[in-house]
Structure 1
């Protein structure tokens, strides 16, 4: 078996799925377009010819060459190719089936900047707008009904149907539920410096926002909600929008604490200590709200996107529809903070790594 991933430059949700797939199939080979984190995985990850050109790492500039890179990847030695795809990686599965192999594609999303520019800031770039029509036509030609597709949420399954005209099985990505529920108080296992930051936050009396600090994550609304509810706000994460977000926080009446990048242990401790985790981005799945609910904390999520699916499945929060106005958020937040959370962490196990493994094995091995 060959398991592929788009490009490897950071560790996020799609990379965690790739790691999970490699763990499920320890004898499989691994491949990608280019690998800028060579020591991240438990085996070598071979690279495409693009990695040996000036296009390495240049995601937008390399897009016209990506179909050729997947097409030129040698699959003759494999009976099965499983592609992890958040842009055009699914094309390798098509390349495989057109050569008589089994092809499967785990789709985090069709390329959002082409197929869903309304929820992807990069889709507004002039160069991508000009290239969108031919790239979409090419991408759809490289979809094949003989490939077995899986989507990481019903939300993405619907996007696959609209974009590519094929159906997909829903397999939610792995969330480390087992680890989160294994520690009763994560605040007891963080570093001394982290414990100091944690103790400065009032237990079960502050709002938490956490993500990369970019505008579409809507962390400014977390600050506005804190003002409305007269509750302190903690923001975990880093990113290019930090200066703008700090300027927004300067006008807040309530304390706003910026924690920067945090360890997993600190993040889990923050979930446990917060009164509410606020996650208003439109995401394809949304791992962090599931983590927060597994830690026993209710969530406030955008009704659009995949995060509301998991929230509804376990009953650990409230979805917000419409404009995300501050009064609307305040009403929803009050409802969320009144939810009885005792049974929610156990219900989150349906999103665990173990559950992911069982569903993927069934998807891959059934005839």
Structure 2
């Protein structure tokens, strides 16, 4: 007769793992908090820098399409259903990190607990105006079916947590579920420790940091630099890298484009920047918190996650209008903020606080940790 387990059989579930982005960092912290949990993801790109304590991530059949995500989108829910058949038995506790269709997984055992930490309900299903994938010829006809599947999966959840008040409102609007807000974790200590200056960076530069995609609005940061006569550093990776380099070549001020920066480079540019320009509305937005942890003030929208993280006049300047004139005017207000006040604000989102809130939330619904 097998010995009884000292902890419930637990699974941590994520969407696809393709980069060390904010959602993946949440998954990493959860993996550390649930050391006995099995790890599952829709797909997993080899070589992504995540500390999962040597555990293997079990993937679905869509791992074969990880380089063709647009083709995979309509197939995600069925892939999760099929994946459950490959797992022997069910789990007592399933904690799902969700921003697409991960809550469609059917890994929980009868009578078990399925909790979802939601980065956003799938934008391309519910808010195609925010994500162009939802208007593609392949996906648009399927949106009605996908939204019904998504809402049905949400109905089956034991409880929901959202990464911001913005996302909690979206969960209520689209899923008709109440969500507690638990802000994502940021390793404040990693950004607060001074490191060596290894890069040849211009003095007093403005920083734009994030994926090189249209909605990040990096071109606006270059225009702000031109209006103020200030150098600009743009760091990230993505399909617009070439367009940003072309724009930098014609700029009236020095513009340095750092493509695919390492973690050390990201920490250095955050620490040495005069201001982080974050001209995009995000569900949460981990980069402004990393900037504040580095002692760097932020210019960001008053809407979305940055309206919850950045304290106007204390750790940065919030703007209602994301036009270049408003962003330009906000730079001086942000630069007046003290580095110490920025770091103090970032502590509200430190990893231990996230872990304590997750521990309490899971305990309320599952009677303890996995």
TM over 0.5: yes
In the alignment, what sits opposite 1:197?
200
CA–CA separation in structure 2 for the residues paired with 1:301 and 1:127: 34
**Shift in alpha-carbon separation, 1:143–1:333, aligned structure 2, 3 A:** same
Q: 1:71 aligns with which of 81, 85, 96?
A: 81
Q: 1:154 aligns with which of 156, 159, 165?
A: 165
| Cα deviation, residue 366, structure 1 | 1.8
CA–CA separation in structure 2 for the residues paired with 1:49 and 1:145: 23
Matched, 1:47 2:59: yes
In the alignment, what sits opposite 1:282?
281
CA–CA separation in structure 1 for the residues paired with 2:12 and 2:113: 12
| Cα deviation, residue 334, structure 1 | 1.7
In the alignment, what sits opposite 1:258?
257
For the Cα contact (< 8 Å) 2:191–2:271, is it kept in 1?
no
Where 1:100 maps in the other structure, the secondary structure is: strand
Where 2:339 maps in the other structure, the secondary structure is: coil
String of CA shifts for 1:152-203, please: whole Å, max 9, x gaps: 111111111111110111111111102222x2x32x2x5xxxx2423xx11x
Q: 1:350 aligns with which of 324, 348, 351?
A: 348
**Alpha carbon RMSD of aligned pairs, Å?**
2.1
In the alignment, what sits opposite 1:121?
132
| Cα deviation, residue 330, structure 1 | 1.6
| Cα deviation, residue 313, structure 1 | 8.4
In the alignment, what sits opposite 1:85?
98
In the alignment, what sits opposite 1:337?
335
**Unpaired segments ≥5 residues, structure 2:** 1-9, 366-370
| Cα deviation, residue 70, structure 1 | 2.3
What does 1:225-236 correspond to in 2, within 5 Å?
225-236=224-235
Where 1:34 maps in the other structure, the secondary structure is: strand
**Unpaired segments ≥5 residues, structure 1:** none
| Cα deviation, residue 312, structure 1 | 2.8
**Shift in alpha-carbon separation, 1:118–1:135, aligned structure 2, 3 A:** same
Matched, 1:11 2:20: yes
Normalised TM-score (structure 1): 0.89
CA–CA separation in structure 2 for the residues paired with 1:315 and 1:157: 26
| Cα deviation, residue 235, structure 1 | 1.1
| Cα deviation, residue 22, structure 1 | 0.9
CA–CA separation in structure 2 for the residues paired with 1:20 and 1:276: 28
Matched, 1:137 2:129: no
**Shift in alpha-carbon separation, 1:328–1:356, aligned structure 2, 3 A:** same
For the Cα contact (< 8 Å) 1:315–1:344, is it kept in 2?
yes
| Cα deviation, residue 266, structure 1 | 2.2
Normalised TM-score (structure 2): 0.88
| Cα deviation, residue 147, structure 1 | 1.8
Q: 2:112 aligns with which of 92, 98, 101?
A: 101
In the alignment, what sits opposite 1:318?
317
